[in-house]
Amino acid sequence: MSHSPIAERIRSHLIGLRMPRALEALQTIQSQLEQGQLTALEAIEVLLGEEYSTRESRRVKIALQTARLTVLKTLAGYDFSFQPSLERSRVMALAELGFIERRQCVHFLGPPGTGKSHLAVALGVEAVKAGKSVFFATLAELVDSMRKAEREGKLRERVKFLSRYSVLIVDEIGYLPLGSNGGNLFFQLVNACYERCAMILTSNRGFSEWGEIFGDPVVATALLDRLLHHAIVVPIEGNSYRLREHAALIPEHLRNRPAFNEVGSLPTEKRKPGRPKKEGNPSLPG
């Protein structure tokens, strides 16, 4: 049968359909069919399954590169036992990706080293596998790219590009200073994403500190107004996984220091006594 006219025509069809993996597997599947190890339908299913699996692996690999998820993290690789404050069932529920369809924002808040970025990337990987478009960047990288686009007169195009993904992952909010106008640039992106795409954000700072992060309590409040409207907030209380073997070297007062302020609080503007309250920034929508 392996050299029969039918087999030759099947090979020709597989070549014409650009199915190289199925072509490679054809002889083995024919042999199993002839020995009675497979029925005709099972042989067809295995043949197509080989090709589909290869194409899907290639698709996922390219999509992960496009998403900038070059360092892969998985939910299976996260040590939930090291962070008992985090409910595993809650994270696994997020992995069902319903938040993407609902265009919600997922916030992972906690001290450095508690696995916020790991979980964000792992959810991004799950989204890619499910056929969703994903883009990952730190907040500093996003703002820098938008600042460059603004100088080149292409800010609108950059915002449109970043907000077209099904999931936008913004990592490391609060780690690095944003510099001049960074908060306003990020607001434009968040405003474009609001109720149009899902977001995953990680931060080592509580919401009450966002005024300091973005250099303006008005901007921070406008950001949180959108980012918390359809939000899932996942606080992680615990020690650094990366420093678990060297915890004894960290001073006691730093080891037990609260990592972030109360999750639900919004930034408040500090004013000197007698100073009139600042009016809202006219450049920001309400």
Phi, psi of 207 (to 5 degrees): -60, -30
pLDDT at 252: 56
pLDDT at 37: 95
Rounded to whole angstroms, the Cα distance separating 60 from 98 reads: 20
Nearest residue to 178 (alpha-carbon basis) of 136, 226, 209, 140 = 140
Task: Count other Cβ atoms within 10 Å, centred on residue 275.
Answer: 8
pLDDT at 209: 94
Nearest residue to 88 (alpha-carbon basis) of 76, 106, 103 = 76
pLDDT at 176: 87
**CB contact set of 170 (below 8 Å; sequence gap of 6+):** 137, 138, 139, 142, 199, 200, 201, 202
Instruction: Please give the angle made by the CA atoms of 228, 232 and 234, to the nearest 5 degrees.
Output: 115
The dihedral of CA 270, 274, 279, 281: what is its sign?
negative
**CB contact set of 166 (below 8 Å; sequence gap of 6+):** 100, 127, 132, 133, 134, 197, 198
Nearest residue to 91 (alpha-carbon basis) of 120, 111, 112, 71 = 120
Phi, psi of 101 (to 5 degrees): -65, -35
Rounded to whole angstroms, the Cα distance separating 147 from 142 reads: 9
Rounded to whole angstroms, the Cα distance separating 108 from 119 reads: 8
Instruction: Please give the angle made by the CA atoms of 106, 108 and 109, to the nearest 5 degrees.
Output: 135
Six-digit token string for 40: 């005709």
pLDDT at 269: 46
SS3 136: strand
Q: Which strand (E) or helix (H) includes residue 147?
A: helix 139-151
- Could you tell me the domains of the chain? 5-64 (no CATH), 80-255 (3.40.50.300)
The strands making up 105-109's β-sheet, listed across from edge to edge, are 134-138, 167-173, 198-203, 105-109, 231-235
pLDDT at 259: 44
User: pTM value?
Assistant: 0.80
Q: Which strand (E) or helix (H) includes residue 56?
A: helix 40-66
Q: What string of pLDDT tens digits covers the 286 residues of the chain?
A: 556 888 899 999 999 999 999 999 999 999 999 999 999 999 999 999 999 999 999 999 999 999 999 888 999 999 998 888 899 999 999 999 999 999 999 999 999 889 999 999 999 999 999 999 999 999 999 999 999 999 999 999 999 999 999 999 999 999 988 888 999 999 999 999 999 999 999 999 999 999 999 999 999 999 999 999 999 999 998 665 554 544 454 455 545 444 444 444 455 444 444 444 444 443 444 4
pLDDT at 128: 97
Q: How many CA atoms lie within 13 A of 86 on its CB side?
A: 27
Could you tell me how far CA 121 lies from the centroid of its own chain?
5
